[in-house]
Structure 1
């Protein structure tokens, strides 16, 4: 069984205006006092209007679901204590003219000094899925094989259409903002674990990047855990959609691991084993622009097709892995519902048209599935 862990980043926003507020330390300290929260599950992020949670290592999607609901609920309650709201949108839909200060750590202060404008505009939040791998050689094989899948994952998870009070025209503006940092986008192909290590550490040793944490590829090997970290997703409005994406990513990784163990060529679109980087860069931009409202990039053929056709082919290929893990019931229905109802970006736009700013803030602020004005006491750890 391929294990998974999920990290989610959230914004702290003013409940009335939706403008990000710098209250992360207060909210984090209050959350840490709750019986539902374990030590180190709630962490600082770059800006003081952001927080991140990390689930324990999970073997089932049921565990992922339980932990995300527990942690979202705890942070939502803590945010209300400090007069703000936790928001699960991939980019701040509204912002003040003054920048949000960085979290007070040496690393974050150094990032602000090196790239002040990029840091000030980093009001974006993502979802990262760690999938367990037996060793770094297998991890590189998964990383190489994931490359054509990343545009599809971006399209499905897109949840950041708004920025500074305007519609960007993109489904995932977070992808565009995130891609402005060095060493970003779709990772290159690596010739095994040694090649990965040599090339990554050369970037640090030459001073081109500060540390390996500044590898902003859409997927990378974790330096702390025996995992591949998929970082291409916007944070999700709904827990069940975050769980679905976790299951989908796990199925892709499990399929690639089977191919690696059997010494079969890793599947890729077209006759070449690996798509050309310019094709994947264009596919990633297309996914960020359109989400799943237009055509989707098919990781199996390297072409654009209708969302139902691409999803049908993908589920056919991933079917054995979904069956082995028991994840099909949590992946397939939610994925099909997402195609019918729209991803987070589509629903944000729809809600803004329907009810204006208040309705939008109600949507992005209902991160744990409970009404924003529910002030019930601390939840318990299950």
Structure 2
């Protein structure tokens, strides 16, 4: 049975970051999650530090936040706590959507019951799921509004992908994608977009039908790009790579927060199932070309670069950013989009300068700790 939709404060946000744990010799993933969790257990911090999928990754989660500044402070506190523990164990920590050296067949479950179940079900596909993403939860006033927001935000999925893109390299090669991470999500049979329903009662009927098939047990079995999280009273945006800096992760979250307020308060979108006719192509273009990807507006048919759509959206949602205290975060979004200085671009630039992916990951670890992005 579908979990009841919890009460939450509208437009509050929570951020989850899956981060890489690497050795300091060749910067491949290392099995350090258990030791790190033991090390941070005695520390005091706001939010949570939890295991995630395999021993080479860990998840940082803020609490319920109301503003960009609160998200940034909580992520910085979580980052600093994790880095101190990692330093004690001589382990590197970094962002980025993929590790460049990890061989999928070396990955092992972290031992939790759900991880063991998924490893048994999906086999090698789940081992290849050692990828690193940012998830943003947005509080919704009621379950029907949550579904309206989910489908309204679907038009902006290319924005979120392009802003966070930080996974150009996979297994030692340049994929020519800005975001290659989502290529590992697409093969899952329950990935993609949520069914087009805008009433919670209808969504409950869909979920019941799916559970009767035996294919799913909980909503977590759906790897949708955006999915409802009724236990938190939120929708969860799941398409972003983990950025190289927590400050940039906070800015992306602020963009999603202000956009969500605009979409639910002003209700500008005329939602239609036909929106999804161009969804997969738009998603691909953002993954492949990032801010330069040409996407189609499903309502108007206009086709143009993602960067232009983001800049236009920033103007439209400015008043909502002010109401939420998100202006500083959106100023950072405007600067990055105008300059074209995405994380994926920076990773390629470092590689071009040093011709060493090992050096690239070493620099990623420096950036994660707060070093200046050159």
What TM-score do you get using the length of structure 1 for normalisation? 0.88
Residue of structure 2 in register with 1:379 after alignment: none
Separation (CA, whole Å) in 2 of partners of 1:97 and 1:171: 20
1:290 matched to 2:297? The reply is no
Aligned residues between the structures: 362
1:361 matched to 2:361? The reply is yes
1:243 matched to 2:255? The reply is no
The farther-off stretch of 92-101 and 174-183 is: 92-101
Structure 1's 9 and 176: CA in aligned 2 closer, same or farther, altered over 3 A? Answer: same
Structure 1's 312 and 371: CA in aligned 2 closer, same or farther, altered over 3 A? Answer: closer
Separation (CA, whole Å) in 2 of partners of 1:154 and 1:302: 20
Separation (CA, whole Å) in 1 of partners of 2:326 and 2:298: 21
Separation (CA, whole Å) in 2 of partners of 1:243 and 1:227: 18
Residue of structure 1 in register with 2:20 after alignment: 11
What TM-score do you get using the length of structure 2 for normalisation? 0.90
Structure 1's 104 and 167: CA in aligned 2 closer, same or farther, altered over 3 A? Answer: same
By how many angstroms is 1:52 displaced? 0.5
Equivalent in 105, 109, 128 of residue 102 of structure 1: 109
Equivalent in 117, 130, 140 of residue 123 of structure 1: 130
Separation (CA, whole Å) in 2 of partners of 1:254 and 1:280: 22
Residue of structure 1 in register with 2:75 after alignment: 68
By how many angstroms is 1:294 displaced? 4.2
Separation (CA, whole Å) in 2 of partners of 1:345 and 1:235: 11
Unaligned ranges ≥5, structure 2 = 1-9
Residue of structure 1 in register with 2:263 after alignment: 256
Separation (CA, whole Å) in 1 of partners of 2:15 and 2:104: 32
Separation (CA, whole Å) in 1 of partners of 2:332 and 2:112: 43
Unaligned ranges ≥5, structure 1 = 373-382
Residue of structure 1 in register with 2:184 after alignment: 177
**Contact kept? 2:245, 2:367, Cα under 8 Å:** yes
By how many angstroms is 1:78 displaced? 1.4
**Contact kept? 1:147, 1:187, Cα under 8 Å:** no
Partner SS state of residue 102, structure 2 = coil
By how many angstroms is 1:366 displaced? 2.8
Residue of structure 1 in register with 2:40 after alignment: 31
Structure 1's 178 and 41: CA in aligned 2 closer, same or farther, altered over 3 A? Answer: same
By how many angstroms is 1:182 displaced? 2.1
Structure 1's 339 and 351: CA in aligned 2 closer, same or farther, altered over 3 A? Answer: farther
Structure 1's 254 and 24: CA in aligned 2 closer, same or farther, altered over 3 A? Answer: same
Separation (CA, whole Å) in 1 of partners of 2:154 and 2:364: 30
Partner SS state of residue 49, structure 1 = strand
Residue of structure 2 in register with 1:233 after alignment: 240
Separation (CA, whole Å) in 1 of partners of 2:243 and 2:219: 26
Write out aligned runs for 1:332-347 (5 A): 332-347=331-346
Separation (CA, whole Å) in 2 of partners of 1:312 and 1:293: 13
> Residues 196-237 of structure 1: CA distance to partner in whole angstroms, max 9, x if unpaired?
122123222211234321111111110320111111111111
Residue of structure 1 in register with 2:327 after alignment: 328
